[in-house]
Amino acid sequence: MHLDLTGKTAVVTGSSQGIGLAIAAGLARSGARVAVNGRDAGKVDAAVGQIRHGAPGADVLGVAADLATDEGTAELVDRLPDIDILVNNLGIFGAQEPLEITDAEWRRYFEVNVLTAVRLTRAYLPGMTDRGWGRIQYIASDSAFAVPAEMIHYGMSKTALLAVSRGFAKAAAGSGVTVNTVVAGPTHTGGVEDFVYQLVDRSLPWDEAQREFMRVHRPQSLLQRLIEPDEIAAMVVYLSSVQASATTGAAVRVDGGYVDSIAP
């Protein structure tokens, strides 16, 4: 299957590292013009350089802006008023005792993980529907279904994205615009190796260490290893393509079988 996104412009929020960076690189390799976003201008520039190195000739630009604010969103939309693909990847996470999560923290998780995506969808969906083509995606997590006791606020925000995605898919019905959520499972991102080695024998080679970690601490996974960011990106690139034109309003799992359900 040849996924050709030539002529399409994509924005990937929170894409200066991790899953977002892999998604931006995957879209660029498929021919899309890609905007890399993050709050730190230095990290954004480094990510743009990394993508260009891996995909010579790729059309990549950086937008250093805090999209969790109205001002940051306005800056992005001013620079890129018309786009074809929006990937709402920006998110924060962290462990906290359930009864110690303050009202301010609940609001912060909702503001960053949910409302940022809603604000950008509101900004870009009308133009997509007017042009009769577009792709909007939200990056959720297995935590949307299996809410971790130590990260209830994070799980809440990812569950909310499922409703947001389904609702906006209905708003875009019949327009040629698809709206979907990608449900990512336990993924090999920055800092994860240190976390794994806190829980398993440090003398084990990485491949063995991660499998031992998954076997003991994430036994729900059928993949029995961490997912690589490029594997998440592959699904996003597919859903961004013309080949995925009949997939909308869906929660598509790239979770390694982590969520114990036969439903999508």
What is the pLDDT confidence band of residue 202, given thresholds at 50, 70 and 90?
very high
Residue pLDDT, tens place only, 208-257: 999 999 999 989 999 999 999 999 999 999 999 999 999 999 999 999 99
Measured distance CA(13)–CA(227) in Å, rounded: 20
For residue 224, the model assigns a pLDDT of: 93
Considering the chain, what is the average pLDDT of its residues? 96
Q: Which of 208, 202, 129 shows the shortest CA–CA distance to 168?
A: 129
Q: What is the pTM of this model?
A: 0.95
For residue 191, the model assigns a pLDDT of: 80
For residue 101, the model assigns a pLDDT of: 96
Token digits of residue 173: 């019905």
Domain boundaries, the chain: 9-187+228-254, 188-226
Measured distance CA(88)–CA(116) in Å, rounded: 8
Measured distance CA(231)–CA(19) in Å, rounded: 9
Percent of the chain with pLDDT over 90: 91
Report angle CA 203, 205, 206 to the nearest 5 degrees: 120
Catalytic status, residue 154: yes
For domain 9-187+228-254, say whether CATH 3.40.50.300 is its number.
Answer: no
**pLDDT average, residue stretch 194-211:** 92
Contact 66, 8 (CB under 8 A): no
pLDDT surpasses 90 at 192:
no
Contact 55, 32 (CB under 8 A): no
User: Which one is catalytic: 138, 154, 238, 258?
Assistant: 154
